[in-house]
Structure 1
């Protein structure tokens, strides 16, 4: 985010959830979604950011418009194993392999 934006007080944001696409014109689709969200956000008084979650290997990431008012945060994913009766070593191996090749990131918007 630009240094001129202050996040010292509460603010609103738009969360673009579940962006996915494929095909020859996926770039146009993603650009249209981003432009639509930007224009919609301009009409909201306290909206200070537009946020989406994409993995570094997601092909959509190449089509998200970039300019000086945008920034990218390399986020970490924290995983919690839900199975109580499982082999820890096996789980860690599977998670590591899955995360290396994961093209899509799943974010629960209720976390916001």
Structure 2
């Protein structure tokens, strides 16, 4: 059963250099992430509209073959290292959910 991670940036980027370091690390590991965890980006900061609730500053939607693959990617040493820069760069909400 597929699983999804949705990242919503909750406000503007506070540290552009840290955000660039985060993005660069993810680009550098993209092939490994795809082969090891089956990650498939569905939307990365594309156009969106907030229909209810607080507005987001940006949205990313990632698909994985299973919830275990999504957790494996999120908890991997490579992503955890990159995540340290994301946490310094901006505030995010991250939600993991199972598809049908």
TM-score by length of 1: 0.31
| Greater RCO (Cα-Cα under 8 Å, separation 6 or more) | 2
Of Structure 1 and Structure 2, the greater strand share is in 2
TM-score, length-scaled by structure 2: 0.34
